[in-house]
Structures are given as C-alpha cells and as structure tokens.
Structure 1
Amino acid sequence: MKTNMKPAVYVSGLEKDYAGEHALAGVSFEVSPGCLFGLIGADGAGKTTLLRILTTLSTFDQGSVEVLGKNVNVDFRYLRNKTGYMPQKFSLYQDLSVKENIVFFADVFGVKSGKLKERMEQLLSFSRLTQFANRRSRDLSGGMKQKLALSCALIHTPEIIFLDEPTTGVDPVSRREFWDILSDLKKKGITIVVSTPYMDEAQKCDELLFLHHGKIMRKGKPDDLLDAYPYNLFSVKSETNRTISYPQTGIIPKNLELIYPSEGSLHIAVRDKFSSEETVLSCVKTVLPEASIIKRITPKIEDLFIYLLSDTK
C-alpha cells in the first residue's frame, strides 16, 4: 500500500456533546484506504455517534472530519453517493422481496437502469442470496436480513462502507458467512469501518480503535496491541474440568490483577514476578479452593478489552 495516499478517513480533535455530556471527547485517528477498521467499545462508548458523524448524518461541536479527502460538513452530498452505511436497525421493506428491496435502494441512489441488472446479480451472488431473490424480506432469517441490508448499502458501489454492529443477534454460522463477505469486499479494495461487540470478529480487523465514554483507550493493529498486553495470563478450572464461578464483587487476592470468566474457564491476569503456575494457583486457591488445573495462555482481544476497561476504573 502506498504511504503517500490520503487516508480514507481522517478525524482530528473530534468533540460531540449531548445535553452537556461528552459523547466524543478529543477523538483523533486515521483509516487507510482498503483497511478493515474495527470500532470496539461497550454500550454508550460513542461508536454509533462516531459512525453517524462519518456518514454525514450527525453534526459535531469541534474538530475536523474528512472522508475520502472530503469535509463531511461541506461535501455531504458528494459523500452520500460515495459511501455506504448499514445502521444497527436497517430499514428493509418487509413486504418486498429480496430483489425488490435492492431495486428500491437502487432508485434511491440513482443507479442507472442499464447497470442495475448486472449489479443485482453481483450482489445476490456475493451475499449468497440468489436462490432467495423472490422471498419476502420478512420471511428471511436474521442472518439473511443482514446480508440483504449489506447488499442494499452496496448497491451504488461505494468506495467505503460503515457498519454498526451488523451481526448482533445473528447465529454463529451467519456471523462467519457475513465476515467472509466483508473479507471479499476488502479484497476488492473497499474500505470498511465496522463496530462489533464480538471479540473474535475484532481479531479479523486490520486495525482496531477502542472507545470508552467517548475517549480513545487504544488504537492499532491487533497483534501489536496484544504484544503490549502488560500481564501474564492463566486459565484456571476445577479438577473435574468444570467451570469455576467467581462473583464480580469477589475480593481479588493480592498479587493477582484480574479474575474473570472466559471460554469456559476463569482467566487470571498476573504481574511478572508472580507468574509461575504454582504461585498463581496457590493465590487463587485462597478464594477458590476448587481450583486445581492451571495453564498459561496467550491473551486474545477479549482479554485486552477487559484489561483496558479495568484500567479506566
């Protein structure tokens, strides 16, 4: 990728308040062309507000925001024809078929009739909806509805798309298929900015930005962020391999930094000088006597996210 290319998204010093409360506070970042860029944060972190600003649907109080080299306040009409947006609740027409929904959005974006047939076939094929083209959208599964919504957002061949938690509430198989589609779009050179509550999806992004109460906690490539994880991490189970429950209000033993459930076990975050398995297990047993199986593990994005949230308290 050429280093002298203008960023697909440029944000500097972005501020947005709602009723005196900071929705976004001093947010600055860039997204390179062709990047799959992930927004991570708990509910209320500011992800949707940020996406609405980037898609010219919401104003802001201070800062500079450019998409595809254009000012979102000045060039909003141009940008609406060059960008695609899939909000959390995409408004499909339930009584229209898959094909009719796509035609409707083609009309909205002014897609020429001579190009519509070819574009329709492309979208139905890549979204795996060809055999369901005549099915009403109300009769589609949740995963199919999301694929249709993405197809509608892509009908005008945008250069960049913004997706707000597109797989929330979708079954695991459909989630995987949806991200396979995003991977295909990335290979075609489309820039993708997506928010997700699923840490396994976040791992698939080229770059990540973690938001908390409107402020950036971390940003960077997943591997680089994980390399900077400050603790040694362990997984603990009982002798019967049964998951050990630990109350959120439980007292964390001295020398242990974090204890939380993950993937059927308890994850224990520990500083270096207390990092032997025997020492950690001994500490854990003071509050969880049933703990008996321990192994050192490599942190994942979920572990990083939990650490970042704990660091804000």
Structure 2
Amino acid sequence: MNITVMNLNKYYGNNHALKDVSFKISENGLYLLAGPNGSGKSTLMEILAKIISADSGSVEYNAVITESEFKKKVGILFQQNGVRKNITVTEELEFVSEIFDKEIDINLYLHKFGLYEHRNKKSQRLSGGLQRKLLIASLFIQDYDIIFFDEPASGLDVQTRDFIWSIIKDYSTEKICIVSDHYLDQAASYCDQILLLSKGNLLFKGSKTSLLETFEYQTRIQSKKVDAERISQKLEEFDIHYETVYSGLLVNFYIRKSVDQLDERLKLEVEDTRQISVEDIYLYLSEKEVKLDA
C-alpha cells in the first residue's frame, strides 16, 4: 500500500500546525515521525489516520476505496489507549481474535510478547510495560496493512523500550508502521526512514545513514553557557570552524572535523565531545529552521 501526502496544511486558530508537508511512502517498513512537542507530528499522524482533516492538501492511499475498507486496513495505537481491566491477558487475546475472526496460536503470542507467565492475570494488575505489550499484541492480531503508533514506548524503561521497538520492527517487514517518538537516537536505530518535523515543517525524510552522511558537521561539543566563551576561544586557537546552537543552559558547538581528527590538546580542554547523533542533527535543523535533502 502506498501513501502519498501532498501540501498538507493545518491551522489551529493562528497556529500553523502543518506547513505544506509533502512526502510519499511506497514500501513496507518502519517510519519514524520525529520531533518535540509542538512540532506537528501528532497532528500529521491524526490526519494520516483520518481522525482529523487537513485544511488544505491531500492524503491518498492506493488500494483503499471505501471508508469501511480503510478501517479494516489501517490501525492506530494512541498513548491513552487502555486495556480492558477485568479480563485476563489470555481472555483479551482470545476476545480480539474472535471479534476479528483471526485464528492465532494464543500460547505463541503470549511467548512472543513476553506475556506467558502473566497469562492468567487481570489486565489491570499488569505493569505499564506489560499493558503496552498486550495492546500491541492485540493490535497485531488484526493484521492491519498500516499501523500508526503514537509514542508506543514513552515512559518505559530502556529494556522494555527496546523490546517494544523490536516487535514493531519485526511486524514492519511485511507492513507499514509509522511511529512518533521524541527519543530520537534509540528510535532511529530501528527505523528504515526518518521524517524530521519542526514547527510544522518537514525538515528531512530519509534513512539514518543518509541523514548522518548528508549533514555537514561530524562532531558536537557541548558545554554550559558559563564555559562557552572559553570553548570558543580554544576552537579559534586551533583554527576550527564551528556553529553554535543553544539548548536551555547548554551550548552545542557543531564542528566539521571528526572526533578522531581533533587535536588531543583540545580534547583535554572540553568534557563532552561526541560524534554527531540524530538528536544533534535534529536540534541543529530545528533551531536553524533549515531543510536537509537526502
């Protein structure tokens, strides 16, 4: 199934939430909608899932003709979705499979999602991570062609987040999964394509590799504002071109040289030096309000 988005615009009063957003998804895979609160990613997801309408522009799905067919092919999991509290884990999966007329091996599902030892527990007694696993397991039973996930691993520990991402990645080998998240480095490691949004603008669409290769800077040095002048002087002493991006009480210096190419004397003068990450690139692009071509 293909998704073609053309010149989407959405307003909330005077707030221009989406600004001429266009892109196309034509292959199965895992797609990351990335950006902080207010970037437009939730609005975009709701328009794609036909929960709200755009003020202008279009979203076209091939092979989907009627509204009823759309609902059979497209699923969505919001952060606020909850489990049915008074039935067991096994009963929940059996109920979903019966409602959607899907034959599944319940025990296989329970093991796959790490729920087997909790199979006889009421859903309300599960931890937040286990409830999220149960919701995703129930969603996968329905065998949607496209699934939208609104921050599916938000608020969970690192190990559970990795598990959630792994099972979504596995599903996406034969389906389209579109996921919003703001933990960019972890999410990007699982995703086939990244769509970076900032203040309603689509800044980049492409692979993580393409993003890192296209970006002109290779190293980020971070310091507190009180140390920024000292770092600036040191970089100038070593004749190193840089750009700065402020983030709260921190200053980020973007440098074209790789970490390995930096003089060891300079490294001794700065504490937080690392190879550019997806989060670093996003911070730069959103602050500078520039787009990056893949």
Tell me if TM exceeds 0.5. yes
* Partner of residue 193, structure 1: 178
Distance 1:280 1:52, change over 3 A: farther
Query: 1:54·1:67 contact (CA, 8 Å) conserved in 2?
Result: no
1:46 Cα deviation after fit = 1.2
Partner-residue secondary structure (3-state), 2:202: strand
Q: How many residues align?
A: 277
- Contact 1:229-1:299 within 8 A present in 2 as well: no
Please name the residue that 2:32 is paired with: 38
Deviates more, 1:86-95 or 1:62-71: 62-71
Q: Distance in 2 between matches of 1:212 and 1:259?
A: 15
Greater helix share, structure number: 2
Q: 2:73 matched to 1:82? A: yes
Distance 2:72 2:276 in 1: 41
Give TM-score scaled by structure 2 length: 0.82
1:147 Cα deviation after fit: 0.9
Give me the CA root mean square deviation: 3.1
Unmatched runs of 5 consecutive residues or more in structure 1:
1-6, 237-244, 283-289
Q: After superposition, give the CA deviation of every residue in 1:60-115 in whole Å (9 maximum; x if it has no partner).
A: 211111235437xxx332111111211121122223322333345456xx412xx3
2: CA distance, partners of 1:38 / 1:11: 15
Contact persistence 1:277–1:294 (CA under 8 A) = no
Question: What residue number does 2:3 align with?
Answer: 9
Q: 2:130 aligns with which of 119, 144, 148?
A: 144
Please say if residues 119 and 155 of structure 1, whose CA atoms lie closer than 8 Å, have aligned partners that are also in contact.
no
Task: Report Cα offsets for 1:218-249 as digits up to 9, x if no partner.
Answer: 1111111111112241557xxxxxxxx51499
In the superposition, the TM-score normalised over structure 1's length comes to 0.77
Letter of the aligned partner of 1:219 in structure 2? Answer: K
Percent identity of equivalent pairs? 29
1:160-212: per-residue Cα shift (whole Å, max 9, x none)? Answer: 1110110000011101111111222123x011111111122123211110111
1:102 maps to 2:88: no
Deviation of the 1:281 alpha carbon: 3.3
Answer 1 or 2: higher relative contact order, Cα 8 Å, separation at least 6. Answer: 2
Residue among 265, 271, 279 paired with 1:302: 279
Measure, in 1, the Cα distance between the counterparts of 2:125 and 2:160.
16
Distance 1:81 1:123, change over 3 A: farther
Q: What SS class does the counterpart of residue 24 from structure 1 fall into?
A: strand
The match for 1:134 is 120
